[in-house]
Amino acid sequence: MPIIVNLDVMMARRKMSLNELSEKVDLTLANLSILKTGKAKAVRFSTLEAICKALNCQPGDILEFVEKGDGTTV
């Protein structure tokens, strides 16, 4: 999938655990883990907003589009 989730990177930068983020954004650990590992098929804007507020970041800090063509990553 060309959308990469960098949630773990932002959590590390903010020194925030999955448990702490889960409490702040009112998501279950299971759902947050699915998002963190890139296995989520969708994310609600309200969820993305809550995560960005909790981590003091922009959506682009968490989500990244990486196009794969001839074997190179752009």
CATH number at residue 43: 1.10.260.40
Q: pTM higher than 0.75 for the full model? A: yes
For residue 74, is it within any domain?
no
Mean pLDDT by 10 residues, the chain (74 residues): 91 97 96 94 96 98 86 54
For residue 10, is it within any domain?
yes
Q: Which long-range contacts (CB under 8 A, 24 or more apart) does 59-63 make?
A: 61/6, 61/10, 62/5, 62/6, 62/7, 62/10, 63/3, 63/4, 63/5, 63/6
Count the neighbouring beta carbons within 10 Å of the beta carbon of residue 43. Answer: 18
Domain count, the chain: 1
pLDDT at position 2: 87
pLDDT at position 72: 55
pLDDT at position 44: 96
Cα(15)–Cα(61) distance, integer angstroms: 15
pLDDT at position 73: 54
For residue 72, is it within any domain?
no
Which range of residues forms the domain containing residue 47?
A: 3-65
